[in-house]
Amino acid sequence: MPWALDLTPSGQIGRTADGGGRRSHTAGMSTVETAMPRAPRAPGARVVIGTAAVAAGVAIVLVGVALPWLTLQHGQEVVNGVLGDGAYLATAAIGAGALWTAYLLSGRPGPLRALAAGAAFLIVYWTVFDVERIVTTVTDDPLAGAMGAPLMGPGPLVAAVGGVVLLGATFSVPALAGGMRRTQWMRVLLAAALLAAGAVHLQQAPEHLEVSTVLGLGFLAAAVTQLGLGAAVLVRGHWLLYAAIVADCALFFLLYAYAVVHGLPFPSHGDAGIQVGAGEPVTLSGVLSKLGEAVAILVALPLALRGR
């Protein structure tokens, strides 16, 4: 069928009297634009700066935990944060960083940002409390002289600064979603149980290293794996990850049960507790770590079986 150009006032090619069709330039351009793939949207400057501040806050807290918190015997003996509350502060910082990562990857739901801010606030509150307690011990405790002129180190102050940076950073990027799915809440519960168990193992590791290198390394292995799995499950859920959580927690739970009932071939660390079997006494820290592992198994096992 013959065609002839019939330019309309709108700039379209119109149909001629012999029955030709009409096609618009704008429609053709629209088709081309639709077919072209859109480039992924780059994160805004606010997100980049806020995330960098969160990472800096977590790093500062971890450095503060590793620094001296107290010096004894006229500077001859140094006590860092891992031997005290620093293990729990480090765990809170790792948890806050993982919560922030999950917050960004899951559409920025408000509850995840609130949890990250809560972890940061806990760090600030806890370090201020520790600073006050150390200062009181150093200046007012009549038994301080027996510790050889104890002095507070820079560790708790550095950790407090890291907590403040972390807390401020969590408010720098506004939330875009109001709620979370049930599976996301289950992953938060799972991560909390793992981080709690890992924190106890981390805090107990130096004491057990003094008793036995193998025993201390076992506690470090439990701390590293459980803290790592707790952070990972916040960021993403997968049935293989859930299966690894079940295996890890079941292994250390059974090892503890065997140590309590029969005992392990290592010297006793001398902690006070309830004697149940022929082995180690049941202590508060042991109960808390096993409670965290039990909760993690109960939450992760159904998720692993469902393949979610």
Which of the residue ranges 140-154, 199-213, 227-241, 278-292 would you say has the lowest mean pLDDT?
A: 140-154
Q: What is the pLDDT of residue 31?
A: 46
How does pLDDT run across 265-284, given as a tens digit for each residue? 877 766 777 888 778 889 99
Neighbour-count burial of 110, counting CB atoms closer than 10 A to its CB (0-12 exposed, 13-18 middle, 19+ buried): middle
Instruction: Indicate if the pLDDT at residue 119 is higher than 70.
Output: yes
Model pTM score: 0.79
Contact status, residue 85 vs residue 69, Cβ threshold 8 Å: no
Burial, 285: exposed, middle or buried (Cβ in 10 Å; 0-12, 13-18, 19+)? middle
DSSP state of 68: E
pLDDT in tens, 174-193: 999 888 999 999 999 999 99
Structure tokens at 211: 């008793």
For the stretch 242-259, pLDDT in tens is 999 999 999 999 999 999
Range with the poorest average pLDDT among 78-92, 115-129, 267-281: 267-281
pLDDT at 41: 54
**DSSP-assigned letter for residue 148:** S
Over range 55-69, report the average pLDDT. 95
| 221: confidence class by pLDDT, cuts 50, 70, 90 | very high
Q: Delimit the domains of the chain by residue range.
A: 1-38, 45-180, 181-308
280 SS3 class: coil
48-to-53, 115, 173, 222 alpha-carbon distances in Å: 9, 20, 9, 33
Q: What is the per-residue pLDDT for 280?
A: 86
Whether the per-residue pLDDT at 290 is higher than 80: the answer is yes
Q: Taking a C-beta distance cutoff of 8 angstroms, is the pair 284, 272 a contact?
A: no
At residue 29, does pLDDT exceed 90?
no
Q: Beta strands of the chain (E only): which ranges?
A: 68-72, 77-80, 151-152
Residue type, 77: E
CB 172 within 8 A of CB 46: yes
Structure tokens given for 307 = 């393949």
Average pLDDT in the chain: 84
Q: Which residue has the higher pLDDT, 35 or 118?
A: 118
Backbone Cα Rg of the chain: 29
- Residue recorded with tokens 């168990």: 197
In this predicted structure, what is the pLDDT of residue 146?
56
Please tell me the predicted confidence (pLDDT) of residue 250: 97
Rounded (5°) CA angle 189-220-90: 55
Q: What is the mean pLDDT of residues 55-68?
A: 95
For 237-253, b/e burial (b = at least 16 CB within 10 A) is: beeebbbbbbebbeebb
Of 193-197, 205-209, 217-221, 285-289, the one with minimum mean pLDDT is: 205-209
